């Protein structure tokens, strides 16, 4: 479904990604893991069109999308749940979800999508009239994912979903992501929490200092040195 080749990108004089290649097949859940500052967020931003790559190609369902503006990429079916959630704090939960379904095709199926989100995340239904800024961290993450689902995407990009959440919440969150995946969505998740995310996905890539260092099936990768290192905290 998604194919990156030779992607280089950065900010100003600084290059964050060098010659990155990866692939996500339809129905898969793929992770990109790596330490802080590896370029993971930049990678997602390049895919969703927030920043343009300096070199390389991105093909989504066969169409070239590298360098296309964000609203265009979203229209094609990629939803990006950004780092830090970036909810609209002054808007209610319901309004945030409404904004997720901004595009006409999504708006046409608004009621249906809303029902699905409320079924997956019942707490959002409870708090639908509450200001998004006053939700707890876990609830905000659920809202962020729910908002992405409202656009009826084909591919969901998740940027560090576990960030800022208590460990118990992280486990619950990954369970919920499993449910989302079970609904048939293809997922590309970027995470620092290596152990947990590898339990969730089919395949993973290791990104370090802007380059793909390793790739493979999740169960194989969990045996690798770097995962054990991450666990022990070396």
Partner 1 sequence: MSGLFDLVVNNPLLLAEAALNGLLLGGVLALLALGLNLIFGVLDIVWIVYVDLAMLSMYLIYFTVQVYGWPLILGAVAGVGLGILLGVGVHLLIITPILNSPPVNQLLATGGLLFFIQSLATFLWTTDHKSVRLALPTLEIAGMFVSFARLIAFGLAVIVMIGLYLFLTRTYIGTAIRAVSQDRGAMALMGANPQKVYLVTSAVGGALAGVAAALLIIQYSVHPYFGAAFGPITFMICVLGGLGNMVGAFVASFIMSEIISIGGVAFSTEMGYVIAFALFIVMMFIRPSGIFSKRQ
Summarize as ranges the residues that interact with partner 1 (CB under 8 A): 48, 50, 69-71, 74-75, 79-80, 82, 86-91, 95, 98-100, 102-103, 106-107, 147, 151
Please say which residue, 99 or 169, places its beta carbon nearer to partner 1.
Answer: 99
- Minimum distance, C-beta of residue 80 to partner 1, in the bound complex (Å): 5
- Minimum distance, C-beta of residue 107 to partner 1, in the bound complex (Å): 7
Please say which residue, 80 or 203, places its beta carbon nearer to partner 1.
Answer: 80
- Minimum distance, C-beta of residue 14 to partner 1, in the bound complex (Å): 19
Helices (runs of H) and strands (runs of E) counted in the chain:
11, 10
User: At 93, which helix (H) or strand (E)?
Assistant: helix 93-100
Task: Label residue 212 left, alpha or beta by phi (over 0 means left) and psi (-120 to 50 means alpha).
Answer: beta
Phi and psi, residue 91, nearest 5°? -90, 155
Strand runs labelled E in the chain: 2-11, 14-24, 29-33, 55-60, 63-64, 78-81, 155-159, 186-191, 203-208, 211-217
Please say which residue, 102 or 231, places its beta carbon nearer to partner 1.
Answer: 102
Please say which residue, 81 or 204, places its beta carbon nearer to partner 1.
Answer: 81
- Minimum distance, C-beta of residue 157 to partner 1, in the bound complex (Å): 9
């Amino acid at each position: 479904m998604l194919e990156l080749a030779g992607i280089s990108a950065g900010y100003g004089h600084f290059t964050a990604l060098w010659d990155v290649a990866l692939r996500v097949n339809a129905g898969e859940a793929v992770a990109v893991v790596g330490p802080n500052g590896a370029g993971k967020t930049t990678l997602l931003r390049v895919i969703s069109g927030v920043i343009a790559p300096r070199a390389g190609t991105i093909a989504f369902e066969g169409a070239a999308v590298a360098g296309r503006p964000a609203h265009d990429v979203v229209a094609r079916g990629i939803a990006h749940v950004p780092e830090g959630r970036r909810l609209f704090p002054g808007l209610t939960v319901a309004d945030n979800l409404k904004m997720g379904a901004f595009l006409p095709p999504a708006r046409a199926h608004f009621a249906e999508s809303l029902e699905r989100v409320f079924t997956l995340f019942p707490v959002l239904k409870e708090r639908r009239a509450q200001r998004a800024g006053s939700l707890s961290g876990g609830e905000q993450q659920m809202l962020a994912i729910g908002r992405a689902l409202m656009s009826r995407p084909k591919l969901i990009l998740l940027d560090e979903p576990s960030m800022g959440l208590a460990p118990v919440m992280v486990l619950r969150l990954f369970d919920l992501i499993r449910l989302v995946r079970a609904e048939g969505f293809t997922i590309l998740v970027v995470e620092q929490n290596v152990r947990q995310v590898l339990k969730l996905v089919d395949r993973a890539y290791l990104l370090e200092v802007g380059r793909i260092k390793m790739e493979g099936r999740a169960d194989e990768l969990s045996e690798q040195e770097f995962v054990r290192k991450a666990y022990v905290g070396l």
